[in-house]
Structure 1
Amino acid sequence: MADGTPRRSLRTRLLGAALVLVLAALVVAGLAIGVILHRFVRGQLDGRLDAQIVALRAGLEAGILPETLDAPPYDRPGPGWAWIVRRGSETIRSGSLRGGDIRLSDPGPEDDPGPPHPAWGTGPRGQPLYARVLTVPGPTPATIVVAAPEGELYGPLREALTSLALALGILGLCLLAGLAFQVRLGLAPLRRLRVDLAAVRAGTQERVPAEQPAEIAPVVAELNALLDQNARNLERARGHVANLAHALKTPLATLSMALAARDPDGDLRRQVEDMDRRVRHHLRRARAAALEGAARTRTPLAPRLTDLRDALTRLYAEKGVAIVVAVPDGLVVSCEGQDLDEMLGNLVDNACRWCRGRVRVSAATEDGAVRVRVEDDGPGLDPEAAAAVMARGRRLDEGVPGHGFGLPITLELAELYGGGLSLDRSDLGGLRSELRLPA
């Protein structure tokens, strides 16, 4: 921004909030699903170990030899699948232990006849184990420990969580893409509102369309009310300016007529005419300033130049001036018609006054502005003289009729409309005046 404060973007804020919420939701979902998967995998492993505990308990109660209870994978050394039964001083082990032992970090109470409970321990080779422990009551209580490698619990869980993280990452990207599209779709009315406001400012439409979403409709209604109020203020200002112009021009005209017979040298009459020109100039300036820059009035350029060419051709008929107008028919400027006539009249009349016999007027749109070029085949001006004629009342040749206000007034009016005026050498040999006005 102009004051150096960074702009606060609604899109950035919405996308930032959406990103935080999506990440938080994915983290919570990942943790919840991880807990569920852990309980599921552990439940499957507990069921498998408890089934072996049931078989061992039944074998003890039936007096079955331990060898018949060593079904795979409890008969293979190394992997960590093992069981052990302690009853009094007797200890019965699975074949996978090869005489080794299972050391539990927390075996639990030995007199607990409840269902099997989990425990952690290590095997004969120090490998971490996950175990289920059951205490069998009786004259000689027995403790049954069935263990599995710890990897049987965390390995499947790790694989499942890896796949889950990948799926959640893809889901998060899809959600963010959907949210970005949603934010863009939701902010589309604001972009259309900006385009409509630019059209109002450029003069292509008078009001912002009232058909808007419910959230923006009150803002649009206030904007249209403001435009209507400004239009009414502008009309009142124009009325005051017109009244002032009428109140001043009539006495000045009367004074000029009264001095016609009493001022043989014409000095006082020229002063009155100078006053009249200054009054009209500042009244035009007040009217243009009331429009706050570029007017919203759209004035076609070609018809104005055609009428001006016809009038000046008759005016300079004795000189035989040929005025060529090359302006597209659809070219429109954002300017009041009277002010446009004033500016074009000053430039083309100046070219006709100084030309040898040829004047060329052309126009084109460039960088959002209309550039009107008035060229002649006269003597032209050097850079110093071109700067001098822009001064109010300055004339380079006192022998040519005029007051020296034409080009300065044209420049001021053009600047009031956001344009400008520049002087340069024409390829016809004379002066080229380039008038810039908003398109």
Structure 2
Amino acid sequence: MIPLLKAKPPPGPARPRPPRPRPPHRLFGGPDSLQRRLLLTAGACLAIALVAAGLSIGFILQRFVRGQIDGRLDDRILSLISDLQPAADGGFSLNRDRDGPPFDRARSGWYWQVRRGEAVLRSGSLDGRDLALPEGPIRRQDRNIPSPADGTGPWGDGLILRILTVEGRGGTPPTIYAASAPTAALRGPVLEALRTLLVCLGLIGLFLFAGVLVQVRLGLRPLRRLRDQLAAVRAGGLDRLPERQPTEVRPLAAEINALLDQNGVNLEHARSQVANLAHGLKTPLATLSIALAETGDARDAALARQVDAMDRRIRHHLRRARTAAVGGHSRTRADVATHVADLAIALRRIHADKTIDFVNAVPDGLTVACDPQDLDEMLGNLTENAFKWCRERVRIGALRRGPEVVIRVEDDGPGLDEAAMAEALIRGRRLDESRPGHGFGLPIVMELAELYGGSVVLDVSELKGLEARLTLPA
């Protein structure tokens, strides 16, 4: 198989091929999409809000649980004050046992202690050890309200302390009341509540993000509808955008409609100018061709062929100008199978001296975004070459390949080598001077295909002859 050789474009400016739009991601959109930006911004704001809410609620829960523990310890201190009585030896004692649960469990962290000078009363949970109180002054809220503090128990366990100092009378040392709770009594309930809180906040965040997603998709739906309407205008299904649009999109739609109206006026002017140019050039050339043909002179016959070549080139460039004036291929379409069938009928009559097995393998309903006359000229040149050089078989097939349609024209003729394929696409170059023609067929096909953003490629066909692949937008 000879490697593919793409046609070299003729000299002169070529229309750039329009970029193919990338389909946006269904959920988040592309990297530059508004939907992605809105969702990421909303997600970040939701995450910040939920984290702030979790920290705030955790702080409130800690304050609440600490308040409950402090209240319980304060009650123990007040009960110690009420039950304290002087002893006969000058010391003091309690008139009843204050080692009820949880202060009766050894090393539990729930301790109480009363100290006046060297005399000390302590809970059974201290197991005979002293409760070390913080050194230095203790922050006092009120003389009758215990002050908070943090400390360490006799066994190195962290404690939450409440301390109340009652001044003595008559030279009596002050009485220091202290009660403690383990720090686990604060962390445990808070952590348990935070686990439940985090699950709830996570569910709330998911529901809120789902709501934001629905809101963003609903909010951007008018833009997607506007895009579809613009595609319909470009494809020829609509002349203008509908005036019924959301308030935010209505000015944009109005500007686009004004642009379409202005382009319509400019296109009508261009069409009239092209028509005038066609009339001004074709009529003198036709008159000159008739005058040269009537003389019968051999030199005039050569001039007549040159006039005919000029006429063909003028018609070709006028067609290009007309196509550009009407907006190119974006608002026209042509059915490939129908045009191939019509061309086959005409070429069978022209080549009635040959028995040709023609196969039209183009599926029904396959259309290209191309002017019907331009499609006839491109297919006509390719099919005429196939009929001219084939031995007995010609086959035309087509298939849809993404946004393009690939048309394959094959024959079982002698074919071309790689160098001849490149030479065949040069304007005015004829590989066989014994056959009629001017050498403009394949270059014209190439120029028209490039005008529509397509291409022409020559290769060896499966029928062992030449294959011409014409690519056009679907």
Q: TM-score, normalised by structure 1?
A: 0.83
Report the count of equivalent residues.
435
Structure-1 separation of matches of 2:153 and 2:46: 44
- Aligned residue number for residue 70 of structure 1: 98
- Aligned residue number for residue 102 of structure 1: 131
Query: Match for 1:384 among 413, 419, 436?
Result: 419
Deviation of the 1:405 alpha carbon: 1.4
Query: Match for 2:388 among 329, 353, 358?
Result: 353
2:448 aligned with 1:418: no
- Aligned residue number for residue 50 of structure 1: 74
- Aligned residue number for residue 402 of structure 1: 437
CA spacing shift, 1:220–1:75, aligned 2, 3 Å: same
2:146 aligned with 1:116: yes
Structure-1 separation of matches of 2:349 and 2:141: 128
- Aligned residue number for residue 250 of structure 1: 283
Q: Which has the higher contact order (CA 8 A, sep 6+)?
A: 2
Deviation of the 1:83 alpha carbon: 2.6
- Aligned residue number for residue 273 of structure 2: 240
Contact kept in structure 2, 1:107 and 1:133, CA below 8 Å: no
Contact kept in structure 2, 1:110 and 1:143, CA below 8 Å: no
- Aligned residue number for residue 297 of structure 2: 264
Query: Match for 1:147 among 180, 194, 197?
Result: 180
SS for the counterpart of 1:103 is coil
Aligned residue identity for 2:187: Y
Contact kept in structure 1, 2:85 and 2:95, CA below 8 Å: no
2:160 aligned with 1:130: yes
2:368 aligned with 1:333: yes
* Pairwise CA RMSD: 3.6
SS for the counterpart of 2:470 is strand
Structure-2 separation of matches of 1:75 and 1:342: 106
Structure-1 separation of matches of 2:379 and 2:224: 37
SS for the counterpart of 2:436 is coil
- Aligned residue number for residue 321 of structure 2: 286
Range with greater deviation from structure 2 (144-153 or 270-279): 144-153
Contact kept in structure 1, 2:83 and 2:95, CA below 8 Å: no
More helix by share: 1
Structure-1 separation of matches of 2:392 and 2:160: 110
Q: Deviations over 1:231-260 (max 9, x none)?
A: 443333222112111111111112222333
Aligned residue identity for 2:45: L
Deviation of the 1:338 alpha carbon: 1.6
CA spacing shift, 1:339–1:151, aligned 2, 3 Å: closer
Unaligned runs of 5+ in 1: none
- Aligned residue number for residue 16 of structure 2: none
Structure-1 separation of matches of 2:181 and 2:156: 13
Structure-1 separation of matches of 2:417 and 2:138: 109
- Aligned residue number for residue 34 of structure 2: 10
Percent identity between matched residues is 56
Contact kept in structure 2, 1:74 and 1:81, CA below 8 Å: yes
Query: Match for 2:469 among 429, 434, 437?
Result: 434
Deviation of the 1:297 alpha carbon: 0.3
SS for the counterpart of 1:145 is strand
